[in-house]
Amino acid sequence: MEGYSRKDEECPQLLDLIPKEKEWFTISAQEKQTSHGSSEEKQLELRLGPPIGDWTIKNNHVSRESFDYFFPWTSSSGYQVQSQQPTTPFLQAHDQVKESSQPNYTVAEKKTFSAANTALPNSSSAQKRIAPTSVVGWPPIRSFRKNLANGNSSKPVSELQNAAGSRISGEKAIENTPQSLLVKINMDGVPIGRKVNLKEHDSYENLSSAVDELFRDLLAAQSNFSAGGIKNEEDGGKAITGLLGGRGEYTLVYEDNEGDRMLIGDVPWHMFVSSVKRLRVLKSSELPTLCRGGKTESFLETSPK
Amino acid sequence: MAYSFPEEVLEYVFAFLSYDKDRNAVSLVCKSWYEIERCCRRRIFIGNCYAVSPQIVIRRFPEVRAVKIKGKPHFADFNLVPEGWGAYVYPWISAMARSYPWLEEIKLKRMVVTDESLELISKSFKNFKILVLSSCEGFTTDGLASIAANCRNLRELDLGESEVEDLSGHWLSHFPDNFTSLVSLNMSCLGSEVSFSALERLVLRCPNLRTLRLNRAVPVEKLPSLLRGAPKLVEFGTGAYSAEIQTDIFSNLVEAFSGCKQLKRLSGFWDAVPAYLPAMYCVCSRITSLNLSYATVQSPDLVELISQCPNLKCLWVLDHIEDAGLKVLSSYCKDLQELRVFPSDPYGAEPNVSLTEEGLVTVSAGCPKLQSVLYFCRQMSNAALITIARNRPNLIRFRLCIIDPQAPDYLTLDPLDTGFGAIVEHCKELRRLSLSGLLTDRVFEYIGTHAKKLEMLSIAFAGDSDLGLHHVLSGCESLRKLEIMDCPFGDKALLANAAKLETMRSLWMSSCSVSYGACKLLAQKMPKLNVEVIDERGHPDLRPETCPVEKLYIYRTVSGPRVDKPDFVWTMDEDAVLRLS
């Protein structure tokens, strides 16, 4: 513990930071159903209704509406808190729950649940919820725990070959250790492939500049490239820009763990890192129709803002 | 008072106080006790490196021998804190090098440690003994070489789960030939091979070695010689635990393990091959801690191993253990105190193993001493949580991660409010809680009402409104750390509970709805808080005041705004606020 003394306080000391011209408007659970859009002045109190009952949430719309009632913070609204109600109503309510039809879950009775315990497919509610793979920081797992499946030697090499379309049999397109994730990268017109350590980068921009550095000199040694999209650099090699977004002469694509070729940049960085198997730098003019990573938008649409 | 104790007596008495809380209490009694205590305090814990400056610490505590400092917020573990945010240890090392020549122990967590810092440590503290770098980054094996070369009395070198740049495996060779004081070495986080002969020689010449945790690159056939060289080991971490099955390797391993009569803790086991697990059976009866969280072996093999460990107190394992394996655990390991179940395939759309809430319920029923839980699963029900709460009111840490964000009770499709409510109601000593699944403001009401001893709370994708946050901030009296991601919490609860923030170590909010204007107002009203806005979209002034900030990190400090901010961090201070009026 740090050297701070902890004051005993029954209630938190509230600072009246916002001038008290109005009370803060809040909608309790009951109010939401009755007075839709009511603006009666009501001091905030901690409601202790029955935990189950008038709070069935089928989708997230209930929470959305409550937000509409809040004034923008710049308007003056005071905020007062009533003293908390005693806990007995809660315990009574909880006892109601115990007496209700909640399944009493004991080890002895688990057989009755065995049918229900097969994991239900998430498809029906997945649209309304956030895909777990599309959010940075979720699920909360340290990086060195994430690629255990990839590093597992039991995964057949042939699977990697087929997925990556590697012409050289037995070649490892991806090497994974706790400290590095080396992914093979090839560039159109350059016979020599390179490897890039994805763990050294934390964004597509970083990766793009790393790719530029890797191939710049090699490319300069090749013939037959047009001037479009490439800036002159003083050190002799011409910078390869515009790799993301398909605007430059070259475009960065990758092959994922299902063997699909995808454009870089569609999915959040960490999802990309966990599914990428190899990288390619293609000439933009020769881009076939690529499938775009599809899991990004659901989070943005359903995020509660 | 004319006849008070001489200082030396008080100092002697204070020496028996090891807990910081007790020492802090003592220092508040009177000025002379404050003076005596501060001069004899030997161990310092700084929970947030930016809460205080090295100068202030050194000025108050001149005789420190051991420091522990924490840097980045916890969510940095999940890549939520951008690179370059801060937590540089160098200023601390540099200040301590001048003022604490007798420093023996440095323990760091989530800090940026450079080779320069390591070299400075190795050269500044003649009696340096213990270096623990937990989840740190920024250094290479060259820095380790300096430590090895210069710390003549080193006892403990623990690299934890740090990110180390592997430049060379020869850093180990820098331990001089006459260096024999090593007691503990944990290099499990290193990626590349270390020089095995150097390692072997080191192990053989250090008679007090009690902890040896190898990295993945050490193959299983090399283990016997190390184990034979360190028969007094108490803790051992293997490297990759796989090889083609060869009887002589196996029998060597069995023999080597059986020579370690004091072995209590095992870890490592990357790529574990089931055929080699039985080599450990001879030590299983003494094992109290088993970290199998890198071992992708299947349930039957895990069960076979675990059923031989009746004294197991701590188990970290992948979800390959499945409900069936947890049932075996609950019947054989009655001393179990801590269980962590990690997901083997967190990004898979469908479950790859049969691990459900059932496994956790079973363990909660069968293991009476269970107090610490970290559990990743794909389904949960209120009924299960209520049962767990009733079974195990002695829970202290409960971290549940249902992988699908906002997953409801899979039986009833209700939110999991009542389940978690039961946890906080029954587990009165609960200090740490992580929530997941579909949760409304109601769960926060329960938490605010019941979780009076809760010190750390982690929330994601939960709640409906500011009311949720208000319940927590106003009700949780012991709250020290609150971390929130992707919740609809905005300005009101934060501003109304501003004073609460000074009683906490820190608050993290990312992808919430706190506006830039509110951040400025909060900073203006609470000068003892650093209100840091982390926003990679550019200066917040470029956007309307009502625009929510990307990330917010608020912490109390006696040192004012920090001076080492990167360009995507803004501290709300007086200047920023002037424009407000």
Contacting residues of A for B270, CB less than 8 Å apart? 151
pLDDT at position B1, please? 53
pLDDT tens-digit readout, A242-258: 777 666 788 888 887 77
Contact A121/B350, CB-based, under 8 Å? Answer: yes
Residue A41: pLDDT above 70?
no
Contact A179/B163, CB-based, under 8 Å? Answer: yes
How far away is chain A from the Cα of B162, in angstroms, using its nearest Cα? 10
pLDDT at position A222, please? 58
What percentage of chain A has pLDDT greater than the value 70?
29
SS3 B81: coil
Contact A55/B467, CB-based, under 8 Å? Answer: no
Mutate to test the interface with B, among A44, A179, A203, A295 (most CBs of B within 10 A): A179
| pTM for the structure as a whole | 0.71
pLDDT at position B242, please? 87
Residue A88: pLDDT above 70?
no
For helices A88-99 and B417-426, what crossing angle results, to 10°? 120
pLDDT at position A121, please? 39
User: Which candidate from B344, B383, B473 shows the least CB-CB separation from A102?
Assistant: B383
Restricting to A residues 176-215, those with a Cβ less than 8 Å away from any Cβ of B are 177-180, 202
Tell me what the mean pLDDT of segment A49-60 comes to.
Answer: 39
| Per-residue confidence band for A104, with pLDDT thresholds at 50, 70 and 90 | very low
pLDDT at position A195, please? 73
pLDDT tens-digit readout, B179-194: 999 999 999 999 989 9
Q: How many CB pairs under 8 A join A and B?
A: 268
- Beta strand pairing status for A181-187 and A190-197? antiparallel
Contact A139/B449, CB-based, under 8 Å? Answer: no
Give the other-Cβ count within 10 Å of B461's Cβ. Answer: 28
How far away is chain A from the Cα of B387, in angstroms, using its nearest Cα? 6
Residue B525 backbone phi and psi in degrees, to 5: -80, -25
Higher-confidence residue of B101 and A157: namely B101
β-partners of residue B508 are B483, B553
Can you tell me the distance from the alpha carbon of B157 to that of B187, in angstroms, rounded to the nearest whole number?
8
Give the other-Cβ count within 10 Å of A142's Cβ. Answer: 13
Contact A14/B77, CB-based, under 8 Å? Answer: no
Higher-confidence residue of B251 and A33: namely B251
pLDDT at position A243, please? 77
How far away is chain A from the Cα of B97, in angstroms, using its nearest Cα? 22
User: Which candidate from B216, B410, B488 shows the least CB-CB separation from A178?
Assistant: B216
User: Which candidate from A17, A47, A148 shows the least CB-CB separation from B344?
Assistant: A148
- Amino acid residing at B279: A
Contacting residues of A for B525, CB less than 8 Å apart? 15, 17
Question: How far is it between the farthest Cα atoms of chain A?
Answer: 82
Residue A170: pLDDT above 80?
no
Contact B418/A94, CB-based, under 8 Å? Answer: yes
Select from B256, B268, B260 the least CA-distant residue to B223: B256
| Per-residue confidence band for A288, with pLDDT thresholds at 50, 70 and 90 | low
| DSSP string for residues in chain A | --S-PPPP-SSPPPP--S-TTSPPP---HHHHHH-TT------B------SSSTT--SSTHHHHHHHHTSPPTTS-----BPPPPPSHHHHHHHHHHHHTT-----STTHHHHTTTTSPPPSHHHHTTS--GGGSTT-S---HHHHTHHHH-TTS-HHHHHHHHT-SSTT--SEEE-SS-EEEEEEETTEEEEEEEEGGG-SSHHHHHHHHHHHHHHHHHHS----STTEE--TTSSPEE---STT-SSEEEEEEETTS-EEETTSS-HHHHHHHEEEEEEEEGGG--PPBPP--SHHHHHHS--
pLDDT at position A216, please? 76
Query: By the 8 A CB rule, do B296 and B320 touch?
Result: yes
Select from B360, B447, B153, B464 the least CA-distant residue to A59: B464
SS (H, E, C) B41-71: CCEEEECCCCCCCHHHHHHHCCCCCEEEEEC
Can you tell me the distance from the alpha carbon of B531 to that of B552, in angstroms, rounded to the nearest whole number?
7
Restricting to A residues 230-259, those with a Cβ less than 8 Å away from any Cβ of B are none
Mutate to test the interface with A, among B68, B404, B469, B580 (most CBs of A within 10 A): B404
Can you tell me the distance from the alpha carbon of B423 to that of B440, in angstroms, rounded to the nearest whole number?
16
SS3 B544: coil
User: Which candidate from B318, B408, B474 shows the least CB-CB separation from A12?
Assistant: B474
| Range among A3-7, A118-122, A193-197, B147-151 with highest mean pLDDT value | B147-151
| Side-chain-facing half-sphere of B60: CA atoms under 13 Å | 15
pLDDT at position A256, please? 78
Contacting residues of A for B505, CB less than 8 Å apart? 2
Residues of chain B with pLDDT under 50: 2, 577, 580-581
β-partners of residue A46 are none
Contacting residues of B for A125, CB less than 8 Å apart? 408, 413
Helix or strand run (H / E) with residue B420: helix B417-426
Residue B266 backbone phi and psi in degrees, to 5: -130, 145
| Per-residue confidence band for A133, with pLDDT thresholds at 50, 70 and 90 | low
pLDDT at position A53, please? 38
Contact B271/A153, CB-based, under 8 Å? Answer: yes
Residue A267: pLDDT above 90?
no
- Which of A151-160, A229-238, B131-140, B509-518 is the least confident region? A151-160
Contacting residues of A for B383, CB less than 8 Å apart? 102-105
User: Which chain A residue has the Cα nearest residue B20?
Assistant: A1
The angle at the Cα of B25, spanning B21 to B27, to the nearest 5 degrees, equals 120
Contacting residues of B for A122, CB less than 8 Å apart? 349, 404, 407
Residue B424 backbone phi and psi in degrees, to 5: -75, -25
User: Which candidate from A57, A90, A274 shows the least CB-CB separation from B440?
Assistant: A57
Contact B464/A63, CB-based, under 8 Å? Answer: yes
Can you tell me the distance from the alpha carbon of B365 to that of A93, in angstroms, rounded to the nearest whole number?
25
User: Which chain A residue has the Cα nearest residue B412?
Assistant: A102
pLDDT at position A245, please? 67
Higher-confidence residue of A39 and B380: namely B380
Contact A14/B499, CB-based, under 8 Å? Answer: yes
